[in-house]
Amino acid sequence: TVGYLNGTFVDPERALIPIDERGHQFGDGVYEVLRVYSGRPFLPEWHFERLRRSLRAIGIENPHTDDEWMQLMNEGIRRSGEPESLVYLQVTRGIAPRGHLFPAAKPSVSMTIRAFQPAEPNPSASLLCLPDERWANVWIKTLNLLPNVIAKEIAHRAGANEALLVRSGWVTEGSSSNAWFVRDGVLWTAPANRYILGGVTRRFVLHLAQTLGLEVREQAIAVDDLGTVDEVFMTGTTTEIEPIACVKVDAAMRQALHELPADAEEVIVRAVE
Ligand code: PDD
Question: Per-residue DSSP letters for 20-40?
Answer: TBHHHHH--EEEEEEEEETTE
Write down the ipTM of this complex: 0.99
Q: What string of pLDDT tens digits covers the 273 residues of the chain?
A: 999 999 999 999 999 999 999 999 999 999 999 999 999 999 999 999 999 999 999 999 999 999 999 999 999 999 999 999 999 999 999 999 999 999 999 999 999 999 999 999 999 999 999 999 999 999 999 999 999 999 999 999 999 999 999 999 999 999 999 999 999 999 999 999 999 999 999 999 999 999 999 999 999 999 999 999 999 999 999 999 999 999 999 887 887 788 654 554 555 455 455
Residue pair 9/79 in contact by the 8 Å Cβ criterion? yes
- Residue to mutate (ligand 1; options 43, 88, 177; most atoms within 8 A of CB): 177
Maximum C-alpha span of the chain:
56
Q: Which of 106, 141, 152, 248 is catalytic?
A: 141
* Cα-to-centroid distance, 173 and ligand 1 (Å): 10
Beta bridge partners of 34: 87
The number of the ligand 1 atom at minimal distance from the alpha carbon of 200 is 14
Q: Which residues contact 31 (CB under 8 A, 6 or more apart)?
A: 88, 89, 90, 91, 141, 142, 143
Q: Report the DSSP pairing between strands 246-248 and 126-131.
A: parallel
* Cα-to-centroid distance, 33 and ligand 1 (Å): 8
CA distances from 223 to 15, 66, 138, 171 (A): 44, 39, 19, 6
CA 73 to chain centre: 19
* Cα-to-centroid distance, 236 and ligand 1 (Å): 5
The number of the ligand 1 atom at minimal distance from the alpha carbon of 197 is 2
The number of the ligand 1 atom at minimal distance from the alpha carbon of 175 is 4
How far is it, in rounded angstroms, from Cα 193 to Cα 127?
Answer: 22
Residue pair 206/146 in contact by the 8 Å Cβ criterion? no
Closest-CA residue, ligand 1 atom 3, reads 176
Report pLDDT for 107.
98
Q: Which domains does the chain have, with CATH numbers?
A: 2-115 (3.30.470.10), 126-272 (3.20.10.10)
Q: Residues near ligand 1 with C-beta < 6 Å?
A: 33, 148, 173, 176-178, 197, 199-202, 235-238
- The runs of H, that is alpha helices, within the chain are 22-26, 44-57, 66-80, 146-157, 200-212, 254-258, 264-272
Task: Please say if 152 is a catalytic residue.
Answer: no
Which phi-psi region, left, alpha or beta, contains residue 240 (left: φ > 0; alpha: ψ -120 to 50)?
left
Report pLDDT for 250.
84
> Taking CA 158 as the corner, what is the angle to CA 155 and CA 159, rounded to the nearest 5 degrees?
90
The number of the ligand 1 atom at minimal distance from the alpha carbon of 178 is 16
- Residue to mutate (ligand 1; options 35, 178, 193, 201; most atoms within 8 A of CB): 178
Report pLDDT for 255.
78
Q: Report the amino acid identity of residue 114.
A: R
* Cα-to-centroid distance, 237 and ligand 1 (Å): 6
Residue pair 197/172 in contact by the 8 Å Cβ criterion? no
Q: Which residues contact 266 (CB under 8 A, 6 or more apart)?
A: none
* Cα-to-centroid distance, 270 and ligand 1 (Å): 27
Residue pair 147/176 in contact by the 8 Å Cβ criterion? no
> Taking CA 223 as the corner, what is the angle to CA 251 and CA 235, rounded to the nearest 5 degrees?
115
> For the sheet containing 2-5, what is the strand order?
8-10, 2-5, 108-115, 85-92, 29-37, 40-41
